[in-house]
Amino acid sequence: MSTTVSRDDTGGGLPPEGDVRRRPSVKTVVAWVLVAVVGAVAWTVLALVRGETVSALWILFAALCSYAIGYRFYSKFIARRVLQVDDRRATPAERMHNGVDFDVTDRRVLFGHHFAAIAGAGPLVGPVLAAQMGYLPGTIWIIVGVIFAGAVQDMTVLFFSMRRNGKSLGQMVREEIGIVGGIAALIAVFAIMIIILAVLALIVVNALAESPWGVFSIALTIPIALFMGVYLRTLRPGRVLEATAIGVVLLLLAVIGGGWVDDTGLGEALTLSKEWLVLALVVYGFVASVLPVWLLLTPRDYLSTFMKVGVIVLLAIGLLLARPVLQADAVTDFAREGTGPVFAGSLFPFVFITIACGALSGFHALISSGTTPKMVAKESQVRLIGYGGMLMESFVAISALIAAVVIDQGLYFAMNSPAGATGGTAETAAAYVNGLGFDTTAQDIAAASAAVQEPSLVSRTGGAPTLAVGIANILSDAFGAGMAAFWYHFAIMFEALFILTAVDAGTRVGRFMLQDTIGNVWKKFGDLSWRPGNIIASAITVGLWGYILYVGVTDPLGGVNQLFPLFGISNQLLAAIALTLVTVLLIKHGKLKYAWVPGIPLAWDLVVTMTASFQKVFSSDPAVGYFAQRQRYADAQAAGELLAPAQDAGQMDQVIFNSTLNGVLQAVFAVLTLVVVGNAVFVIARAIRARGPVPTTEEPAVTSEIVEPAGLFATAEEKRAIAEHERLVGAGRPSEGGVA
Amino acid sequence: MSGREAATRAWRGVRWYLREFTGEARWDDYLRHCAEHGHEPVSRREFERRRSDALERNPVSRCC
């Protein structure tokens, strides 16, 4: 580990090349004024116009214009002034090139890899659940959050990790903040990963339970992936595009085939209860974690990535063609009163934790400090990859939000309220939803189920089925009716596919973390090729998330209702750790005056997550506070009573136990984050007293030999620079390395 | 540029991107590298096997 003060900080360096301010052309000014005007009009319409006829496209335009302005101005400011990216410095991909993990990668290709790694089911599910508060709170948080918090976190963590040879978040916290914070961060990362895997798996279980069509098509993705794996390993090694094309065709056939199976005897056999699905997922997760990656994980990853991008593009086109009208209110009564059935709690803080991915997601910090920083070709590209990649994910979240707020709101609440509330049948659900103040009838709910050929849509919580209904509606409107059932199951299949990919990959990463950590005290266990170690570590990881999954699935109060807040809060507590690290590093590098860039989102994130954690632990409202809920059921049990929705003494015990478990987990995550932040405060105070840059673990600058464009499209200037460079290299100029 | 040329260009671009993205193009890079340095390349099967074995030790994380 080398300790050095970087060139930027000593003030000895020249301003980065190409940093000459030029007067923008009239055309550019007009174009940006136009973007700003369209954006402003869209926001005004969303904020002021009420009634039946507000088009959902306004949300799309507000988002796209805001993203464009955020990217063009704010991310540029961060790159040039705050981080001072320097393209004369070689990146780790160039310096440590080994063709395996350190590898100079084309910026557009790396953008795709990074996006595929960060975007999953999170941005699809959170906004759907948050739609119970209306379309406006979610829209504002997704767009403002990504511009000032999420994309900033992804970009700055990527930059600082890149300057440290791609060190992981935990490693950086340990080295730059301290050993106490480092250990707390390590435990937090592992624990949060377990929660995330459990909640993702819970969403799949809820989407597939009692749905033979869904089970059939998802189950077939396994043999399809295995076939692709064997194809790529032995039949035609390396022909990935060929194998993926075959895989996608088989996948579509599997979705179509599910429709036929539905009506046969096989449909009966594939109607699985939630408990059976938990068992299947746990066994699958374990096997996937110990199998070689080429057999299952890699081919499944190709499939899920292509499906992901394909569906997002399809949905965007569908939205433009169908031009749906907003059905939800701008802000519902649930936002003010906090009594919503989907998740409990008021708008503040709960909208901001329900929508994590898409606005601010701490998990991304693990990817921005993992594989991506080792592949960046030029420092200036962190803007496109880090900030731009997160804007893309935010766009996915906005699309999901639109899909949820353009469906009939009576149906929305019938689908997303827990079974304990709706009673599980179309009649009882209609009565319940009418009680909430939304129009619907049992016939409407039954007709909606029949249209997508599902036995029932009542209490299909978790967000995935709702999103699938939304997508099915939009795509049927756009491309012709009669295909709703296909689109619904297609959407379910694609969500489940990449949740399973996340579960595979997450279990494997969890296993590596466990082996690495235990390997510190027991050398043999850290050896990744030692079979018993692999099996034990996989079993522990799968056992942990499988257990929480089981707890969630059998929870009488509804697993999503109970666990999703825990998932959202923990994801954003991880973001707090990442933003703390970035703030500390800026101050250590002598850039106190820019500490507000990560500092403001950090302060906001801490206020949100700590308020939410506090309420979940200490609130006296049993619908919000885990321990108040525990107390309520314990009191009832002591008095020999049964409290709905529990139906017997066993379920009473279950509620009491689950509430305690969730409350303890919640408290532990918050305390771990506070330990990191507390440790950071000392480091910051020391750095401020030092009045100037203090040593960090940044690698010394080495002159770069590569010339590459910074943005998505090469500018004329960059093209000239590349041509010039090639001419010089071609002329046999000796390559010179060395410290600048 | 005629429409046909533009279409060909676009198709080439898409193909280039997909081959780079999936890592299929790494084989071409390797062959070029061998030619430049005068090495005898291993078979494609062997090359892809080594590549996937390297992936085994470098897990790719997937987010929520």
Output the six-digit token pair for A729.
Answer: 């290299």
φ, ψ for residue A89 (rounded to 5)? -90, 135
User: Smallest Cα–Cα separation from A369: which of A574, A167, A607?
Assistant: A167
Is cis: bond before A565, omega within 30 of 0?
no
Decide if B54 and A100 are in contact by the 8 Å CB cutoff: yes
φ, ψ for residue A482 (rounded to 5)? 95, -10
Closest residue of B to A567, CA-based?
A: B64
Alpha-carbon gap, residue A713 to A507, rounded angstroms: 37
Q: What percent of chain B has pLDDT over 70?
A: 98
Output the six-digit token pair for A156.
Answer: 């700055």
The verdict on B63 touching A (C-beta cutoff 8 Å) is yes
pLDDT of residue A8: 41
* pLDDT at A469 exceeding the cut of 90: yes
**Out of A199, A361, A501, closest to residue B62 by CB:** A501
Alpha-carbon gap, residue B21 to A241, rounded angstroms: 10
Output the six-digit token pair for A347.
Answer: 């708008």
Residue A4 DSSP code: B
pLDDT of residue A608: 97
pLDDT of residue A504: 87
Residues 386-415 of A with CB under 8 A from B: none
- Is residue A710 within 8 Å of A384, Cβ to Cβ? yes
pLDDT of residue A101: 84
**How many residues comprise chain B?**
64
The verdict on A238 touching B (C-beta cutoff 8 Å) is yes
Alpha-carbon gap, residue A195 to A572, rounded angstroms: 13
pLDDT of residue A320: 95
In which region does residue A619 sit, left (phi positive, over 0), alpha (psi from -120 to 50) or beta (all else)?
beta
Contact residues on chain B for A231, CB-CB shorter than 8 A: none
Closest residue of A to B43, CA-based?
A: A237
pLDDT bucket at A213, cuts 50 / 70 / 90: very high
Among the residues of A231-273, which ranges form H helices?
240-261, 265-269
* pLDDT at A10 exceeding the cut of 70: no
The helix/strand/coil state of A545 is helix
**Out of B45, B58, B64, closest to residue A120 by CB:** B64
The helix/strand/coil state of A376 is strand
Alpha-carbon gap, residue A714 to A357, rounded angstroms: 30
pLDDT of residue A664: 95
Average per-residue pLDDT in chain B?
Answer: 89
- Is residue A294 within 8 Å of A224, Cβ to Cβ? no
Decide if A119 and B56 are in contact by the 8 Å CB cutoff: no
Output the six-digit token pair for A560.
Answer: 């999503």
The residues near A727 (Cβ < 8 Å, ≥ 6 apart) are: none
| Angle (CA) A392 A398 A404, round 5° | 145
pLDDT of residue B57: 77
Contact residues on chain A for B42, CB-CB shorter than 8 A: none
Decide if B61 and A371 are in contact by the 8 Å CB cutoff: yes
* pLDDT at A12 exceeding the cut of 50: no
State how far residue A267 is from chain B, nearest Cα, in angstroms.
30
pLDDT of residue A52: 67
* pLDDT at A62 exceeding the cut of 60: yes
Alpha-carbon gap, residue A109 to A106, rounded angstroms: 5
pLDDT of residue A19: 52
How do residues A362-407 score in pLDDT, each as one tens digit?
999 999 998 899 999 999 999 999 999 999 999 999 999 999 999 9
How do residues A296-315 score in pLDDT, each as one tens digit?
999 999 999 998 889 999 99
Say how far residue A615 (Cα) sits from the centre of its chain.
Answer: 24
The verdict on B55 touching A (C-beta cutoff 8 Å) is yes
Q: Which residue has the higher pLDDT, B56 or A574?
A: A574
Contact residues on chain B for A506, CB-CB shorter than 8 A: 61-62
The helix/strand/coil state of A89 is strand
- Is residue A700 within 8 Å of A713, Cβ to Cβ? no
Dump the DSSP string for A696-740.
Answer: BSPPPPBB------SSSS--HHHHHHHHHHHHHHHTTPPP--SB-
pLDDT of residue B1: 66
Output the six-digit token pair for A23.
Answer: 């007067």
pLDDT of residue A732: 42
Measured CA to CA in angstroms, residue A9 lies from A13, A586, A700 at distances of 8, 10, 12
Decide if A113 and B59 are in contact by the 8 Å CB cutoff: no
The helix/strand/coil state of A325 is strand
Here the ipTM equals 0.94
φ, ψ for residue A78 (rounded to 5)? -65, -45
Contact residues on chain A for B24, CB-CB shorter than 8 A: 238-241
Decide if B62 and A112 are in contact by the 8 Å CB cutoff: no
Buried b (16+ CB within 10 A) or exposed e, B17-48: ebbbbbbbbbbeebeeeeeeeeeeeeeeeebb
Decide if B52 and A292 are in contact by the 8 Å CB cutoff: yes
pLDDT of residue A737: 34
* pLDDT at A481 exceeding the cut of 90: no
* pLDDT at A583 exceeding the cut of 60: yes
Average per-residue pLDDT in chain A?
Answer: 91
pLDDT of residue A210: 86
How do residues A159-182 score in pLDDT, each as one tens digit?
999 999 999 999 999 999 999 999
Measured CA to CA in angstroms, residue A133 lies from A391, A431, A713 at distances of 23, 21, 39
Alpha-carbon gap, residue A687 to A109, rounded angstroms: 38
Residue A595 DSSP code: T
How do residues A225-250 score in pLDDT, each as one tens digit?
999 999 999 999 999 999 999 999 99
Q: What percent of chain A has pLDDT over 70?
A: 95
How do residues B29-38 score in pLDDT, each as one tens digit?
999 999 999 9
Domain with CATH 1.20.1740.10 in chain A: 7-211+271-689
How do residues A502-533 score in pLDDT, each as one tens digit?
888 889 889 988 998 899 899 999 888 889 99
Rg (CA), chain A: 26
User: Smallest Cα–Cα separation from A9: which of A738, A701, A583, A579?
Assistant: A701
How do residues A606-657 score in pLDDT, each as one tens digit?
999 999 999 999 999 998 999 999 999 999 999 999 998 898 999 999 999 9
Alpha-carbon gap, residue A158 to A385, rounded angstroms: 9
pLDDT of residue A55: 94
**How many residues comprise chain A?**
740
Among the residues of A338-388, which ranges form H helices?
347-354, 363-368, 382
How do residues A324-362 score in pLDDT, each as one tens digit?
999 999 999 999 888 899 988 999 999 999 999 999 999
Q: Which CATH class, in words, describes the domain spanning A7-211+271-689?
A: mainly alpha
- Is residue A479 within 8 Å of A318, Cβ to Cβ? yes
* pLDDT at A13 exceeding the cut of 70: no
* pLDDT at A20 exceeding the cut of 50: yes
pLDDT of residue B58: 76
Residue type at A732?
G
The pTM score is: 0.93
How do residues A400-447 score in pLDDT, each as one tens digit?
999 999 999 999 999 999 998 999 999 999 999 999 999 999 999 999
User: Smallest Cα–Cα separation from A449: which of A490, A491, A417, A484?
Assistant: A484
Residues 322-381 of A with CB under 8 A from B: 356-357, 361, 363-364, 366-367, 370-371
Given 3-state DSSP classes, what are the helix, strand and coil percentages for chain A, each rounded to the nearest 5? 70, 0, 25
* pLDDT at A4 exceeding the cut of 80: no
Residues 4-33 of B with CB under 8 A from A: 17-24, 27
Contact residues on chain B for A361, CB-CB shorter than 8 A: 63-64
Decide if B64 and A357 are in contact by the 8 Å CB cutoff: yes
Residues 96-125 of A with CB under 8 A from B: 100-101, 106, 108-109, 112-113, 117-122
How do residues B1-20 score in pLDDT, each as one tens digit?
688 999 999 999 999 999 99
pLDDT bucket at A691, cuts 50 / 70 / 90: confident
**Out of A101, A121, A232, closest to residue B64 by CB:** A121
Q: What percent of chain A has pLDDT over 90?
A: 79
| Helical pair A559-588 and A179-208, crossing angle rounded to 10 deg | 150
The verdict on A506 touching B (C-beta cutoff 8 Å) is yes
Residue A339 DSSP code: -
The verdict on A498 touching B (C-beta cutoff 8 Å) is yes
Decide if A241 and B24 are in contact by the 8 Å CB cutoff: yes
How many other CB atoms are found less than 10 A from the CB of residue A638? 8
State how far residue A176 is from chain B, nearest Cα, in angstroms.
24
